Amino acid sequence: MGARTFISGWPVYRQLTGDDPLGRGAAVKSEHSATLQPRVRTASKVVKSVCPYCAVGCGQNVYVEDGPDGERVTQIEGDPDSPVSRGRLCPKGAASLQLTTGSSREYKVRYRRPHGKDWEDLELDTAMDMIADRVIETRRAYWQDEAEGRYVNRTMGFASLGGATLDNEENYLIKKLFTALGAIQIENQARV
């Protein structure tokens, strides 16, 4: 590196001689910052989505990168096309990358047996079988053909309380299946 290049590499030199006297643009760029690329540049695809927090319904662009371990989400940004949000996200929406990919998410089924002191491991398939058995048993044990002399055709044995960040399609299956099972205590956050 010659002396001239060395000197011209100093931001203060470039600031004094170039067209960026306040040092807020080109003058202060290092080689590192000049070659930085936005995380979204390397995405293999951009998936259209919607913020999962409140009911404003801000548009999201979900950036996915294909790597050796398969696809992963690398960034979530506001969708500028959305007539609702015009590309903006609030602190929660902007943190949805951490919500979806953060280390505090659980990925294993946990099981606590009656009177148990701690969690145990359980296979997902086993858990599903056990839950299906519980539903059938409880439904039968607490079945009512009639209540106060009137036809009711129901079970009061189990209840469901859902969040309201579930998809419409999910709610539809909850209502359809539980109603067909005769359960009526099916509720969600909208009541709360």
Partner 1 sequence: MAECHPVGFQWVLEAKARGATVIHVDPRFTRTSALADLHVPIRAGTDIAFLGGLINHVLSTGSYFADYVIAYTNAATIIGEGFSDTEDGDGVFSGLDPESRSYDAGTWQYEGTEVAAASGHRDQQQYKRLGKGSSPGSKSGRGESHGSGGASLQGEPERDETLRHPRCVFQILRRHYARYTPEMVERVCGIPQHLFHQVADALVSSSGRDRTSAFVYAVGWTQHTVGVQYIRSAAILQSLLGNIGRPGGGIMALRGHASIQGSTDIPTLYNLLPGYIPMPHAHEHETLDDFIAADSAAKGYWGDMRAYMVSLMKAWWGAAATAENDYCFDYLPRLTGSHSTYETVMAQQAGECKGYFLMGENPAVGSANAKMQRLGMANLDWLVVRDFSLIESATWWKDGPEVESKQMRTKDIGTEVFFLPAAAHTEKDGSFTNTQRMLQFHHQAVEPQGDARSDLWFMYHLGRLVRERLAASTDPRDRPILDLTWDYPTKGPIAEPDAEAVLAEINGWDAHGQPLASYEQLNEDGSTACGCWIYCGVYADGVNQAARRKPAGEQNWVANEWGWAWPANRRLLYNRASADPDGKPWSERKALVWWDEEKALWTGHDIPDFTASKSPHYRPPKGATRGEALSGVDPFVMQADGKAWLFVPSGLTDGPLPAHYEPQDSPFRNLLYAQQRNPVRQVFPHPANRYHPTPGERGADVFPYVLSTYRLTEHHTAGGMTRWVPYLAELQPEMFCEVSPELAAERGLEHGGWVTVVTARNAIEARVMVTERMKPLVVDGRVTHQVGLPYHWGRNGYSRGDAANELSSMALDPNIHIQEVKALTCDVRPGRRPRGKARDRLVRRYQRRARIGTSTGTEM
**Residues 1 to 30: which contact partner 1 by CB under 8 A?**
none
**How far is 11 from 8, CA to CA, in rounded Å?**
8
User: At closest approach, how far in Å is the CB of 139 from partner 1?
Assistant: 9
Residues numbered 47-86 forming contacts with partner 1, rule: CB under 8 A: 47-60, 62, 64, 70-73, 76, 79-86
- Reported for 99-105, long-range contacts at CB under 8 A and 24+ positions apart, including other chains, are 99/52, 100/73, 100/76, 101/72, 101/73
* Token output for 105: 């998410």
Query: What is the SS3 assignment for 29?
Result: coil
| Residue 151 DSSP label | E
Instruction: Find the binder of partner 1 among 7, 12, 26, 164 (CB under 8 A).
Output: 164
Phi and psi at residue 107, to the nearest 5°: -125, 0
Is residue 157 close enough to count as binding partner 1 by CB under 8 A?
yes
Which H/E stretch holds residue 48?
strand 45-50
User: At closest approach, how far in Å is the CB of 46 from partner 1?
Assistant: 9
Residues numbered 102-131 forming contacts with partner 1, rule: CB under 8 A: 102, 104-119, 122, 124, 127-131
Type of residue numbered 141: A
User: At closest approach, how far in Å is the CB of 32 from partner 1?
Assistant: 25
Candidate segments 1-9, 13-21, 29-37, 146-154, binder of partner 1 by CB under 8 A: 146-154
Nearer Cβ to partner 1 (21/57): 57
User: At closest approach, how far in Å is the CB of 41 from partner 1?
Assistant: 17
